[in-house]
Structure 1
Amino acid sequence: MKMPAPLAALALAFAASGCGLSPMYAGGGSGAVAQGLAGIEVPAIEGKAGWLVRNALVDQMGAGGASAKRYRLDVRLDDKLEGLGLLSDDTIGRERRTLRARYQLVDLASGAIVLDATAGSDAGIDVVSSEYATIAAENTALENLAKDVANRIVTRLALQVRNPQALTGK
């Protein structure tokens, strides 16, 4: 016997509510995760990639707000651009841009490192006959990689601030 769709949806809702899952950003901007992320200071990061990553981090975390800062996020980047494919005339036909970040979340009160992790992403770039087009593609790849790496960092930080005991070690 087949269960009617509304009844099946209701049964699924009850089953999901008992599994212990809860929304990460419950409470919106006043929720625990949003407030925890806003309490993280993001100092300047060296280089063009650093500028892009820092701006993406501040945008995603709301770290530009006036809330009291409890933590500092130190980020070091490694940006590499390497040629991959050689064409018959010994020119490069494809490049790979890799952006890796090592980041540490530092408790401002004690100076203790509460999180030490890495994040990274890479992109392939076609090298074309127009040097301008290739440079534009490299810059676009860097902008996209910066957003992706920042998103990975913010996701990890959100998981950490969601569980305050994970940050304090209690």
Structure 2
Amino acid sequence: MMRLTSLAAAALALSACGLQPLYGGGSSSSVATTLRAVEVAPIDGQVGWLVHNKLMERLGPNGGPPIYRLEVELDDSITGFGIRGDRAVTRERRTLRARYRLINAQSGGVVLDATAGSDAGIDVVSSEYATVAAEQSAVERLSDLLADQIVARLGLFAARTAPATGR
């Protein structure tokens, strides 16, 4: 009985804290509608193509003329560290950073200017093929993480700028 009372008190405390689900209302919510109205500009390079596709998957199909345009600039680097006695690299760090700007399509003004990034460690082995495959796997994971970070930030922007719905 004491446990049940504690659980009920915790539930009441959480409901009064002011936190609300970002995507409350599902696909018809103002956040989801705003995200679908974002056009993603092409991003240069193979990694740019990956990030662009990941962003498009997360934002959803555009239901009409875009309200915003998302421009992304990537910085992709691989740094060797973990040097053996014979000066061979044994470990690499792949870093993927993005500077992105959300631009109002009508006015051309920048409404959000932010950065996102992540990195991954890669073991360098004697097989060059295995190392290249590990680097490719790392960039695919990093593209996922980057797209998640960008869309989460866009979702927060959309939630903060959405018209009040009388909640």
TM-score, scaled relative to structure 1? 0.91
Q: Distance in 2 between matches of 1:85 and 1:13?
A: 49
Q: Distance in 1 between matches of 2:65 and 2:23?
A: 20
Other-structure match for 2:135:
138
Deviation, 1:47, is 0.6
Other-structure match for 2:67:
70
User: Amino acid of the residue matched to residue 80 of structure 1?
Assistant: S
Other-structure match for 1:17:
15
Deviation, 1:13, is 1.4
Query: Within the alignment, does 1:150 sit opposite 2:147 as a pair?
Result: yes
SS of 2:34's equivalent?
Answer: helix
Other-structure match for 2:26:
28
Query: Within the alignment, does 1:60 sit opposite 2:58 as a pair?
Result: yes
Q: Distance in 1 between matches of 2:23 and 2:11?
A: 19
Other-structure match for 1:120:
117
RMSD, aligned CA? 1.4
Q: Distance in 1 between matches of 2:34 and 2:159?
A: 8
Deviation, 1:32, is 1.4
Structure 1 residue runs of 4 or more that deviate by more than 4 Å after TM superposition: none
Q: Distance in 2 between matches of 1:58 and 1:6?
A: 44
User: Amino acid of the residue matched to residue 120 of structure 1?
Assistant: G
Q: Distance in 1 between matches of 2:130 and 2:57?
A: 28
Query: Within the alignment, does 1:100 sit opposite 2:100 as a pair?
Result: no
Calculate percent identity across the aligned residue pairs.
Answer: 51
Deviation, 1:139, is 0.2
Aligned residues: 163
Q: Distance in 1 between matches of 2:3 and 2:27?
A: 35
Listed one character per residue, the Cα deviations across residues 115-138 of structure 1 (whole Å, up to 9, x for unaligned) are 011111111100000111000000
Q: Distance in 2 between matches of 1:94 and 1:29?
A: 43
List alignment gaps of at least 5 residues for structure 2. none
